[in-house]
Amino acid sequence: MTTTPLDPEALGLDAVSQMGTALERRGELVQSYLSPALELLGVERSHDDEDRAVLLLLAVTLLWLADQGSTRLPVAGPEGKVALRAAFAALLGPDAELSALIERSVSLIASAGERLSCIGSTTETAPLIVAEGHLYTQRIYSLETRLVQSICEITTESTSSWEAADISAMLEQLLGGADERTRRKSHALKLSKEQQLAVLTSLHAPLSVITGGPGTGKTSVVISLLRALFLLGRGPSEIALTAPTGKAATRLSASIQEQLAALRSLPPLERQMFRSLQQPRTIHRLLGFSPSSGRFRFDRRRRLQQNVIIVDEVSMVGLELMTHLLDAVQQGAKVVLIGDPNQLPSVDAGAVLRDLLQKNPKLPPWAAVIASADDELDPEQAQRSLHTVELTHNFRVDSDDEGGRAVAAVSEQAMHGEVSFLDDESLVRKLSSVGEVRFEGVELLDATNSLSGFLDRWFVEGLGTNQVLDWLATPFQIEPGGFTHGEPELRALVKHLDLSRILCLTHGGSAGTESINSRLHGLMARHLGERETRPLLQGEPIIVLRNDYERQLFNGDTGILVDVRLNDDRVPRLMAVFPRPDGSLVAHHPDALRGHVALAHAVTVHKSQGSEFDHVAFVLPTRDGPLSSREAVYTALTRARKSVVVVGDERLLQLAIRRSAQRYSGLAERLATLTHGPRDLTPTGEPA
C-alpha cells in the first residue's frame, strides 16, 4: 500500500501535529493506516482541531483492530475505557499520555450526532458507526448486518420433515444394519451417538454447526451425511463441498477418499454418486470470484444452485467471506458449517464460528431416533444451540499409538489454558540436548543455543536421507496428458514431504520462517552440491502465498520442486509440482510463480491450518508477543498426528497458553437476539 505521511499542518494545530508525530514514531505499525484513515473520515475543516486529532486516532485504531481480527471497539463504560487505553497504548506507545485522549474520545463519541457528521448512529450514514456502546467502521457494520440478515433468512426456514420411517431405514443402512456381525462384515463406519446427532441435525436443520478438534470424527460425519443425503434422494449435483483455502479443500477431499476406501461393501450406486460428486472447492471458487472485477458471480441476486452447502474449516472464515457465502445461499437450502472454534481464528476480521455457538436448553426432537452406540450423549449437548453439535470424544486417545495419545491429551489441556501437563513426565519429555530428541509423543527442547543444531537434525531425518536422493535422481518426464515417467517416485516424494513440517508464529526473527527456511535451504544446497545463492532447489517444499486463478493454485497449497523433462526436451528444468484435489499432479515453471510462492520447510501456524502431519516441530519466538496465544499453541499441537517437538523457552510456552486471543465482535450479541428475541434485526434505516 502506498501511503502519504500524515500532514499535521494540513489538518490543523498542535493537537494534530503532536498526534501525527506520535503515530509516525511507531513506524510500520501504523504508518500504512494514516492515509486510509484520512480517506475514510474526510475530516471537515469545521471540526475543532482536537476533535480532528481524536477522530484520526479512532479511525486508525479501528483499521488496525480490523487487521488484528476485531470488527468493533468498545467505547462505553469501564470496558470501553480499558479497551481504548489498550489500543491507544499499542499505537502510541506505553509511555504516551492517554487519559486525556480517552476522555476526549468518549466525549466525542457520546455527542457524535450533535457535533460531527463522520460519526453516526445505526440509522445514519457515516464513516464511523456507534452501536450498542461500540464503534464500527460503516463497512464492517454493514457486513455484520448483512450476515445477520442472511442467517435470519436461512434459519426461519422450517426444519426438514423427513418421514420417520425413511430416517430409520436410512440410519440402519448407514450403520450397516442392526446386527454387530453384519456391521463388521460391511466395514460400515461406526458412529457414536454424538456423531449420529451431528448427521441428523445436519439433515433436519436449515443451518447447523458441527464442532470438534482433530480426531473427533468430523470426516466420518461428512461421509455419513453425504451417504444419508444420497439414501434420502439427494443427488450429487445438489451438494457443494467447500473450504476457505485450497489446502483445506484438498485435505477434505483426501480425507473423504481415505475413508471411502475403507468402506469395501459400499453399494455400487452410492460409490457412483461419490464419484459424481464435485471435488471440494475453495469458497472463492464456489462463488465464482473474479480477480479482475473483485466481484463474486453468485450473490443475493444470483444464488447458488446447490441445495446443501457443506463448509469445512469454518474457523478460518472471516466476517466478509461468510457474508458473501450466506448471501448466495438459495431459499430452502441447508448449510452445514464444520470447524474447531478453539483453533486460531480467521486472518480476516471476525470470529464467526465462535459467535455462532449459541445456547438452547433442550435436545432437538430428532435425537430420539439415534441408534445404540458405545457412548452416551454428553448432557452439555442440551445446553448448546438447537442446531449445534460438539464432537467431544477424541478417537486418537483410543488408538494404539502412544505418541498420538500424548499429543491429543496435551492439546486438550492446552485448549483449556492448563499448563500442568508440562510437569507430567508421562505426557511430556523435557530435553536439554538435540541428541535426546526421539520424535515421539510430545517433547520440549530448551532452544538455548540449540535451534541450529535441532534444524540440522531435522534435515538429516527428513530431506537429508539417501531415499530422498534416490527419488530426486528419477528422470521425471511430463507431457500434455500428465507425467509419463517417474510418477510413482514423485508421489512418494510428495507424500514424504507431507509427513512433517516446522511451524512458527512469526516470519521474522531467528525463530521465524524466513530464518529457518534460509538455514534449511543452505543445508539442502550442500546436500545436493549446489550453490546456496540459487533461490530454489530441487527437493524443496514450497507454499502458495496468494490465489492464482489462472493456474488454479490457491493460498496455502503446497508443492515440491523437482527437475522435469518437458515433452521431448533432453535437458530437465526445475519445475514446481502440485497435487490437485482430484489426485492429479500439475507442474509449473517457478519463474511463472515468482512472488506467488515461498519455501515451506517452515510455515506459520496460520498457514498450517487445514493441514495435518505425522510429525511437527513447533518453534517458539525468542520473546513474548501478541502472536503467542493459547489458540496458536493449540493449533500448532493439533497439526501433529504422532509427535510434536516444541522448541523454545518453557516459560514463554506457559505465557502463551495462559493468554487467550481477544477479538471484539458484535455478531454473537445480534444472533442472541435472533434466537431469543425479535427476528427483525435490520436496524432502522438499513436496507433489507
Q: What is the CATH number of domain 400-529+601-658?
A: 3.40.50.300
Block residue for cell numbers 520424535: 439
Query: In this structure, which topology does domain 15-136 adopt according to CATH?
Result: Arc Repressor Mutant, subunit A (1.10.10)
DSSP state of 302: S
Alpha-carbon radius of gyration of the chain? 27
> What is residue 188's predicted lDDT score, i.e. its pLDDT?
61
Block residue for cell numbers 466525542: 108
Block residue for cell numbers 494545530: 13
Please give the Cα distance from 546 to 522 (Å, whole number).
25
Consecutive H or E run containing 245: none
Give all strands (DSSP E) within 432-540, no chain letters: 441-445, 476-479, 482-485, 500-504
Strands 585-588 and 597-599: unpaired
Which residues are within 8 A (CB) of 142 and not within 5 positions of it... i.e. 6 or more apart? 686
Could you count the other beta carbons within 10 Å of the beta carbon of residue 5? 11
Please give the Cα distance from 294 to 417 (Å, whole number).
40
Pick the CATH number of 157-176+189-393 from 3.40.50.300, 2.60.120.10, 3.60.20.10, 3.40.190.10: 3.40.50.300
3-state secondary structure of 17: helix
Q: How far does CA 347 lie from the centroid of its chain?
A: 7
DSSP letter for each residue of 139-198? HHHHHHHHHHHHHHHHHTSPPP---HHHHHHHHHHHTT-S-HHHHHHHT-----HHHHHH
> What is residue 225's predicted lDDT score, i.e. its pLDDT?
93
The residues spanned by each domain of the chain are 15-136, 157-176+189-393, 400-529+601-658
Partners of residue 604 on adjacent β-strands: 504
- Read off φ and ψ for residue 94, nearest 5 degrees: -65, -20
> What is residue 677's predicted lDDT score, i.e. its pLDDT?
40
Block residue for cell numbers 502431519: 613
DSSP letter for each residue of 532-599? TTSS--TT-EEEE-S-BTTTTB-TT-EEEEEEEEETT-SS-EEEEEEE-TTS-EEEE-GGGGTTTEEE
Angle made by CA atoms 75, 81, 83, in degrees to the nearest 5: 75
> What is residue 335's predicted lDDT score, i.e. its pLDDT?
94
Handedness of CA 559, 562, 566, 568 (dihedral sign): negative
DSSP state of 122: T
pTM recorded for the entire structure: 0.84
Q: Do domains 157-176+189-393 and 400-529+601-658 have the same CATH topology?
A: yes
- Cell for 535? 533461490
Are residues 135 and 109 in contact, defined by beta-carbon separation less than 8 angstroms? Answer: yes
Partners of residue 310 on adjacent β-strands: 241, 336
Which residues are within 8 A (CB) of 453 and not within 5 positions of it... i.e. 6 or more apart? 434
Consecutive H or E run containing 355: helix 352-356
Q: Which of 437, 441, 440, 439 is nearest to 410 (CA)?
A: 441
Please give the Cα distance from 125 to 547 (Å, whole number).
34
Please give the Cα distance from 665 to 373 (Å, whole number).
39
Instruction: Read off the amino acid at residue 597.
Output: V
Q: Which of 612, 499, 603, 496 is nearest to 544 (CA)?
A: 603
- Cell for 500? 512433517
Q: How many residues does the chain have?
A: 688
> What is residue 12's predicted lDDT score, i.e. its pLDDT?
36
Could you count the other beta carbons within 10 Å of the beta carbon of residue 362? 9
Consecutive H or E run containing 241: strand 239-243
Are residues 640 and 668 in contact, defined by beta-carbon separation less than 8 angstroms? Answer: no
Angle made by CA atoms 682, 683, 685, in degrees to the nearest 5: 110
Block residue for cell numbers 484513515: 37
DSSP state of 273: H
Running along the chain, 688 residues long, what does each successive block of 10 average in pLDDT?
Answer: 37 43 52 78 62 84 91 92 88 78 86 73 86 92 92 77 78 67 56 88 90 88 91 90 88 86 79 87 91 89 94 93 94 92 88 80 58 54 62 76 89 91 91 90 85 92 87 87 86 91 92 94 91 90 87 86 85 89 84 89 91 93 86 93 93 92 88 54 33
Please give the Cα distance from 68 to 407 (Å, whole number).
29
Please give the Cα distance from 544 to 240 (Å, whole number).
24
Please compute, for residue 114, the number of CA atoms within 13 A of its CA located in the half-sphere on the CB side.
5
- Cell for 457? 537434525
Instruction: Read off the amino acid at residue 450.
Output: S
